[in-house]
Structure 1
Amino acid sequence: MLNSCDDIESLFPPEPEKPREEDCCGSGCSPCVFDIYSKQLSEWESACCKLRENQGKSDAYNTDADTLLSSLQYSPFQLISVTQHAENANIYRFQAVHIIDGKVMKIARNLGFSIGQHLVMRNNKTGTDQGVLTRAYTPISDSKTALQGCFDVLIKLYSNGKMSNFIRNLNLDDIVYWRGPFGDFKYIPNKYKFVFMLCAGTGVTPLYPIARRIVEDETEETFVRLIFSCKRCSEMLLREEIRELAGYWNFTARIFITQDVASAGGYREQFTLGRVTSSVLVEEFSGKPLENVLVLICGTKAFNKDMLNYMQQIGVPSMNIIVF
């Protein structure tokens, strides 16, 4: 038994790092980096309280230093490949590693995150005018990759983005720190007859793995309908991947191009020039049993707000609507 408060506090898990004001991108991400911090701080305080109450004996928090991913502290991952994907967007593959005495050793073990969950990247620019930045990204890789201690993230780079500048200057074999996973989404196979995915821009990235999981499951009888809005065909993310999903019997997609549809040649997608409006969705949901429909929404703050309002007007039960 531990004899003092100091002894017990030595067993406390590391306190989560508080984001700076500039770490928030202002795009209405859900959850925001401050939402993540608030939740993790609450969990940390609860774990510490249990350790105090039980005189240092508690399984409330896993303090195993060998854990590849932790929601409370950052772990090192090595950048092992960069693949150009679309205009100003690349797929980055990271490998779990241990760093001992300056030596980097790769680890091939299951990372343990689920579809729909995201990880948080931290830049390494401490002590500079850029400061420490964090951003959330959703892995798009399959479970086989995760079993090898790797994950892929699709990241769009912005010309004036602080985190984009950090990522743009990464080199192969560089070490980047991640923590997670975060997100409470859990998909239950065959619970719904229809899954509607309403997304805009980079919002397609967390929904794509869910769609892929559904269509690749031979026991699934769920229909997936993707409604995807982007500015230009050249900026469309996961274009080839969505086209492959359309080869499955239970997946269809409708792509809305808001500015330029001229570059759509060479593909067989169903393009619509314009925005996703209330009338569009009324048509899409017509005749569907709304109590048996799951709606997943991910986009900008304004897009999410509009889609949520449209769903409420149509009459989709609020418990069947999830905003990422």
Structure 2
Amino acid sequence: MEFLQGQRLETTLAVAAAVVAVAAGSAYLFLRSRKPRGCLDPENFKEFKLVEKRQLSHNVAKFKFALPTPTSVLGLPIGQHISCRGQDASGEEVIKPYTPTTLDSDVGSFELVIKMYPQGRMSHHFREMKVGDYMSVKGPKGRFKYLPGQVRALGMVAGGSGITPMFQVTRAILENPKDNTKVHLIYANVTYEDILLKEELDGMAKNYPDRFKIYYVLNQPPEVWDGGVGFVSKEMIQTHCPAPAADIQVLRCGPPPMNKAMAAHLDDLGYTKEMQFQF
């Protein structure tokens, strides 16, 4: 009798141990598969600490902001942006949208590449920021929604700091091995020195030659230059963007006059409204 009772006890303990192991394994898989909760609030501004400020040129700097923990994510959908709040030179509140160059795969922090204009109200705030200061941020914002493989190819026409949403979308596509979308980018600036993120863009073109093509256009090019010259033309779009089709989309982002001109070019070339998106 004691022998049978001992067997029952061993069986009960073994079953209990198996149940605990299965539960622990399920919990582990659930935690691994669960998407981390983002740090943004679409209704209220939250404070994020500036931990690094690196000058890239005379009027461009990269700002790195810490998230609450080393494993936190910002929680910004691909191609959307955040609103940053600061003060201009007169002490007046100013709010302006920016697109981080980082993705949610970059845990623990997010980065903004900012071009600071002499008379820019928010530019003043960024110029004055020092490591240890806090930035008020709200989001996510934006109408753009992207799913891997939703189009065969993306055309992009960007001007100046309008490169940031294009860069973010391109990074997300290229770093996803399951996304075969091809990206064709036309990037326009005034001078060579105005080109933002050039090292990163050239790196992506080199690492993903079959999936990413970039064509630079300069209004005032250097003496030795193999890119486009002047303003982005219909001919440039025809040559360097995917032709109009139901399974392509062309994104544009730049100064208002450029956006207006590009919309007219795309209309003339036969791109329907459904094929176009303006950030």
Q: Distance in 2 between the 1:82 and 1:263 partners?
A: 32
User: Given the alignment, which residue of 284, 288, 292 partners 2:247?
Assistant: 292
Cα pair 2:86 2:125 within 8 Å, conserved: yes
Cα pair 1:199 1:297 within 8 Å, conserved: yes
Name the counterpart of 1:239: 198
Q: CA, structure 1 residues 83+290, in 2 after alignment: closer, same or farther (shift >3 Å)?
A: same
User: Given the alignment, which residue of 272, 291, 308 partners 2:263?
Assistant: 308
Amino acid at match of 1:227: I
Let me know the Cα RMSD of the aligned residues: 2.2
Counterparts of residues 77-156 of structure 1 (less than 5 Å): 77-97=48-68, 108-123=71-86, 129-145=90-106, 147-148=107-108, 150-156=109-115
Q: Distance in 2 between the 1:217 and 1:174 partners?
A: 34
Q: CA deviation at 1:209?
A: 1.1
TM-score calculated relative to the size of structure 1: 0.69
Describe the SS at the equivalent of 1:229.
strand
Q: CA, structure 1 residues 290+132, in 2 after alignment: closer, same or farther (shift >3 Å)?
A: same
Q: CA deviation at 1:272?
A: 1.6
Residue 276 of structure 1 pairs with residue 232 of structure 2 = yes
Q: CA deviation at 1:84?
A: 2.1
Please list every run of 5 or more consecutive structure 1 residues that lacks an aligned counterpart in the other structure: 1-65, 98-105, 265-269
Cα pair 2:219 2:231 within 8 Å, conserved: yes
Q: CA deviation at 1:170?
A: 1.0
Name the counterpart of 2:166: 207
Cα pair 1:234 1:263 within 8 Å, conserved: no
Name the counterpart of 1:182: 141
Name the counterpart of 2:8: none
Q: CA deviation at 1:110?
A: 2.4
Describe the SS at the equivalent of 1:167.
helix
Cα pair 1:290 1:317 within 8 Å, conserved: no
Q: Distance in 1 between the 2:227 and 2:161 partners?
A: 18
Q: Distance in 2 between the 1:285 and 1:95 partners?
A: 37
TM-score calculated relative to the size of structure 2: 0.80
Q: CA, structure 1 residues 237+283, in 2 after alignment: closer, same or farther (shift >3 Å)?
A: same
Q: Distance in 2 between the 1:273 and 1:311 partners?
A: 19
Describe the SS at the equivalent of 1:144.
coil
Count of equivalent residues: 241
Q: CA deviation at 1:151?
A: 0.9
Q: CA, structure 1 residues 129+234, in 2 after alignment: closer, same or farther (shift >3 Å)?
A: closer
Cα pair 2:184 2:240 within 8 Å, conserved: no
1:257-289 deviations in Å (ceiling 9; x for gaps): 01132476xxxxx51222111222233457x35
Q: Distance in 2 between the 1:227 and 1:299 partners?
A: 11
Name the counterpart of 2:189: 230
Q: CA deviation at 1:204?
A: 0.5
Amino acid at match of 1:305: K
Q: CA deviation at 1:107?
A: 7.0
User: Given the alignment, which residue of 219, 225, 234 partners 1:258?
Assistant: 219
